Amino acid sequence: TSITSAKIQVNGVHLHYQQTGEGSHAVLLLPGMLGSGQTDFGPQLKSMNKQLFTIVAWDPRGYGQSIPPSRDFPPDFFERDAKDAVDLMQALKFKKFSLLGWSDGGITALIAAAKYPTLIHKLVVWGANVSVTQEDVRIYNGIRDVSKWSEKVKKPLEEMYGHKYFAKTCEDWVDGISRFAEKSDGNICQELLPDIKCPTFIIHGEKDPLVPQAHAEYIHKHVKGSR
């Protein structure tokens, strides 16, 4: 089946999404920092089972083709993304759906599952964290300068955004996420984890260069019945 690419107005912005498949199980794919449906989920859009699933990959506001507006990082940017994501799926007339989120998209998915438990069927997150330590801030600052990124990771993002927007948004992201470390426990959304009621699967790369494994273990411990 082909992949539809479209925009829909949600919460005062025009959000871009791609959709494919005609299965009864709707799934939203949530990209990571600076990512879009196309850059982060090209293989899934192409290869996921289209008889079982209806697959939607979105570009959060300020990312991918959901510009304007330019991306910013107010203190509640994860909550804003979670509301946008859920409202997008409702605007597309999905009554219940699963969330597959990686990195920042994983954090967004955890918040959405906790805040809208009646809408979320199942949850898969990988490379996600629910707090920011001083060690994390040190790691984030290591990627602040995009000119030092590997060509493989940098190229698709530079092609999508142009160098200037890409470089500035990365710096703004580092500042935005580092702000959580100023709180006593570095909290992003720790208190919400017990509110997640759906079946939850946590995946973590042992060699993840950006998110130490302790973050995944914390999520597993605090999301009841997660695997």
Pairing of strands 13-20, 53-59: antiparallel
Q: Where are the alpha helices (DSSP H) in the chain?
A: 37-47, 77-91, 104-115, 134-141, 151-161, 163-178, 213-222
Cα of 7 vs its chain's centroid, Å: 18
The pLDDT value given to residue 192:
98
The pLDDT value given to residue 41:
97
Residue carrying structure tokens 């005062």: 12
pLDDT in tens, 38-69: 999 999 999 999 999 999 999 999 999 999 99
Q: Cα 69–75–76 angle (5° rounding)?
A: 70
Average pLDDT over every residue of 116-144: 97
Of 143, 225, 222, the closest CA to residue 187 belongs to 222
What does pTM read for this prediction?
0.97
Contacts of 184 (CB under 8 A, 6+ apart): none
Q: Can you name the CATH fold of 3-130+188-222?
A: Rossmann fold (3.40.50)
The pLDDT value given to residue 184:
84
Average pLDDT over every residue of 132-150: 97
